[in-house]
A = this chain, B = another copy of it.
Amino acid sequence: MTGILYGTGVGPGDPELMTLKAVRLVKENEVIALPGADPKATVAYQIALQAVPELAEKTLVAVDMPMTHNKEEMNRKHDAAAALVEEYLKKGQNVVFLTLGDPTIYSTYVYVQKRVAAHGYPTELVSGITSFCAAAARTNTPLVEWDEQLHVLPAVHRLENRLEAPGNYVLMKSGRKMSQVKEILAASGKEVVMVENCGMESEHVYRSVEEIPDDAGYYSLIIAKEPHGGL
């Protein structure tokens, strides 16, 4: 019998935001995959280790898939990652692949899962707390109420539709083009808050467009809401 590949979200940073299921899977299984060349240096490892100290004694598999815009190279990396994971699965060992946040939201893990599943191995996704839910909680305000729409936009500076639809927005992956993004936000008239490194020690909250630095980090997340009187 082959093993199962579990794509497991560890949440956004606070180890206490791991789910009981993620904790159990790490405890019960021997092989833990982590997205990076040095498993112990990954953010996912650092988060999970605090919740499950037993992680330090596990077999760690480094799944290195650095971001690239060269599609061929990327495909090669994902193929190699799948092959690496399958070495354990074919021996009957489960692999718990830890990933930041939730594995269904912009996770590179799914490229590995697609390949592994196509090769006939069983796979399962285990939900984690998303960065945008955690950021909203951190600012102590709801993301959406009543019939408000929620739009999650990566790299908003490249989009045509930008912030035109009614509703509240989450902007992700904006770090590298922050001055452009700030212009879009200022023009939108929305209430803006940005959370940098949510749930980590280096966390910082900015409460207006003006406060946001042009060189904000990669893990910055912006919430832009329609201004309205509270109930």
Task: Give how many copies assemble into the complex.
Answer: 2
| A15 → chain B closest CB, angstroms | 7
Contacts of A136 in B (CB 8 A): 104, 125
When distances are taken between beta carbons in the complex, the residues of chain B under 8 Å from A155 are 147
Query: Does residue A19 face the partner (Cβ distance < 8 Å to B)?
Result: yes
Q: Contacts A20-B16, A127-B137 known; A144 to B114 CB distance under 8 Å?
A: no
CB within 8 Å of B: which A76-134 residues: 78, 102-107, 110-111, 113-114, 117, 123-130, 133-134
| Docked pose: A143 CA to B105 CA in angstroms | 6
Q: Quick one: closest B residue to A158, CB to CB? A: B147
Assuming A130-B130, A150-B151, is B231 touching A137 (CB within 8 A)? no
Inter-chain contact A142/B78, CB cutoff 8 Å: no
Name the residue of chain B whose CB is nearest to the CB of A148.
B154
Residues of chain B within 8 A of A104, CB atoms compared: 133, 136-137, 141-144
Q: A104-B143, A149-B151, A154-B147 are in contact. Are A128 and B129 (CB under 8 A)?
A: yes
Q: Determine if A75 and B125 form an interchain contact, defined as CB atoms under 8 angstroms apart.
A: no
A152 interfacial contact with B, CB 8 Å: yes
What residues of chain A have their CB less than 8 Å away from a CB belonging to chain B?
11, 14-21, 23-24, 51, 75, 78, 102-107, 110-111, 113-114, 117, 123-130, 133-134, 136-137, 140-155, 158-159, 161, 165-166, 173, 230-231
**Interface contacts beyond A147-B154, A149-B151: sample of 5 additional A-B pairs, CB < 8 Å, sorted by A:** A18-B19, A19-B129, A104-B142, A124-B137, A161-B166
Some 26 contacts from A to B, beta carbons below 8 A apart, are A11-B127, A16-B24, A17-B19, A18-B19, A18-B20, A75-B231, A78-B231, A102-B133, A103-B137, A104-B136, A104-B137, A105-B133, A105-B143, A105-B144, A110-B141, A110-B145, A111-B231, A114-B230, A126-B137, A127-B133, A127-B134, A128-B129, A129-B129, A144-B152, A148-B154, A149-B153
